[in-house]
Amino acid sequence: MKLHKGTSVLRKNQFNLKKVKMSRQRILIKYGGNAMINPELQKEIAAQIFKLQQSGFEVIMVHGGGPFINKSLEKAAIKSQFIDGLRVTEPIAFAEIQKALIGEVNANLISVLNQNSLRAVGLSGKDAGMVTAVKYQHKDAEGKAVDLGLVGEITTIDPGLINVLCKEGFVPVVACIADGSDGQSYNINADTFAGKLAGAVNADQFIVLTDVDGLFLKYPDPDTIIRQLNEKEVAEHMGTTILGGMIPKIQSCVQSLKEGVKKAIILNGTQPQQITEYAIEKKEIGTTLTIK
């Protein structure tokens, strides 16, 4: 059949679009902590995500917001305690944490992203029952059970909503909270949440943004940055080189790789240009995790 010239161009474009969509790479970015507190940095992060989309990537963001939660709890005169990097979450604290993460951090982030050319959609794990959780049963170094309150462990993830949004060019921005089938809502460490979600949505790349260039062999000396680390080396460095906030970041990267993510890296979110330097310009930066 002979097609009208215009139609044939349209068909050709549609075909190309389909092809691009089918081969689109998906990047999940974890954004949190100190790299989040400066609004100017948030604008730059938005510009980086825009560049990724222009280059054909689908982008999903998971965010934390530790410093914002700390402020909210302080304001409400609720004491906050961390055990092994996890915030002990009493019900009264949970209410403030949920307000801070969904009502403040997520809402503000969405405004910044959408004022900077993106079509970002604010979510938490609760939406459409995307992420479900159970109470996390923590054990200390001696194997003794420790009650962390409403800290959750992810049980299921339904990637359907994320797939629909990404296909249409939206940027899902997900706060690290989920419901349990027991009627409780849970507070989940954002690194852990992000790594699990990266695996479940078949992300090609998982980028963890923090406030340093990567993992340093001798923290805080940036000249000792470790460019690549495999699972065996992670085990060797755990508790010696890998300390504090780096523990859940490294663990979530390894977890995501085990669940099929192709590349996992820690980059400096206070240097937002690192995102495209890594994903588009392929510069050798950050700390890359591997499982081989």
Ligand X SMILES: CC(=O)N[C@@H](CCC(=O)OP(=O)(O)O)C(=O)O
Ligand Y SMILES: Nc1ncnc2c1ncn2[C@@H]1O[C@H](COP(=O)(O)OP(=O)(O)O)[C@@H](O)[C@H]1O
Among 178, 212, 250, 267, binds ligand Y (CB under 6 A): 212
Give the torsion sign (CA, 21, 27, 32, 35).
negative
DSSP code for 77: T
Among 24, 25, 34, 51, binds ligand Y (CB under 6 A): 34
DSSP lists the bridge partners of residue 133 as 154
Q: Which of 87/196 has CB closer to ligand X? A: 87
Among 244, 260, 281, 283, binds ligand Y (CB under 6 A): 244
Partner that binds at residue 97, options ligand Y, ligand X, none, CB closer than 5 to 8 Å by kind: ligand X
Residue 154 to residues 202, 228, 276, 288: CA-CA distances in angstroms? Answer: 17, 28, 30, 25
Q: Cβ neighbours of residue 277 under 8 Å, at least 6 residues apart?
A: 283, 285
Partner that binds at residue 260, options ligand X, ligand Y, none, CB closer than 5 to 8 Å by kind: none
Report the distance separating Cα 289 and Cα 292, nearest Å. Answer: 9
Please report how close the Cβ of residue 135 comes to ligand X at its closest, in angstroms: 12
User: Is 199 among the annotated ligand-binding positions?
Assistant: no
Q: Does the protein bind ligand X through residue 32 (CB under 6 A)?
A: yes
Span interacting with ligand Y, options 28-36, 73-81, 139-147, 168-176, rule CB under 6 A: 28-36
Closest CA to 79 of 64, 63, 96, 65: 96
Please report how close the Cβ of residue 127 comes to ligand X at its closest, in angstroms: 17
Residue 142 to residues 40, 138, 160, 248, 260: CA-CA distances in angstroms? Answer: 44, 11, 40, 20, 32
Please report how close the Cβ of residue 190 comes to ligand X at its closest, in angstroms: 3
Interacting residues with ligand Y (CB under 6 A):
32-35, 64, 66, 210-212, 215-216, 219, 241, 243-246
